[in-house]
Amino acid sequence: MEPRPVRLSTVEMTEMVLPNDANIHGSVLGGRVMHLVDICGAIAANRHSGSGVVTAAVDEIEFLHPVPVGHLLLLRGSVNFASRTSMEVGVKVWSENPRTGERLHTSSAYLTFVAVDREGNPVPVPPALAETEDERRRYAGAEERRALRLRNREQKKARRAAAEKGRR
């Protein structure tokens, strides 16, 4: 499969924070931000793979600043790395005051998506082609995070097996 340039997976979204998106403090709900991050990431993964995708994991998401009702959420996501059937997507979120234009970085997240066919079976994806220095930096970081995820998965599997053995 031919490598696919990272730039072709880039997604940019804008949403306004409305009262029904807010908590009792008048700021956007974290769950609403997570929902938008997942959608942005899924579109990027779909663009890269050319197939349906499912969310397999969210490594972490940080909420750095509250975003008040009436402000905008700007999301930008793209594939950082692709393995056989999965892709890591990075999504960054900014808030924008529509009156002043001031922007603040409010959230970042790394998500893993798996490409699937219509029956939900994993399908191969093209390798990610990092063309710029920033893309190469994000690719290298994604490789490190993937290795850590795989180690953690094996450790959890070993702990579950040991716990199961202890119950017998």
Tens of pLDDT, residues 61-120: 989 999 999 999 999 999 999 999 999 999 999 999 999 999 999 999 999 999 999 999
Closest CA to 79 of 46, 121, 119: 46
Please say whether the structural domain 4-167 has been given the CATH code 3.10.129.10.
yes
The answer to whether 115 and 124 have CB atoms below 8 angstroms apart is yes
0.75 exceeded by pTM = yes
Closest CA to 127 of 166, 79, 91, 161: 79
Q: CA-to-CA distance for 32 and 44, rounded, in angstroms?
A: 19
- DSSP character at residue 21: G
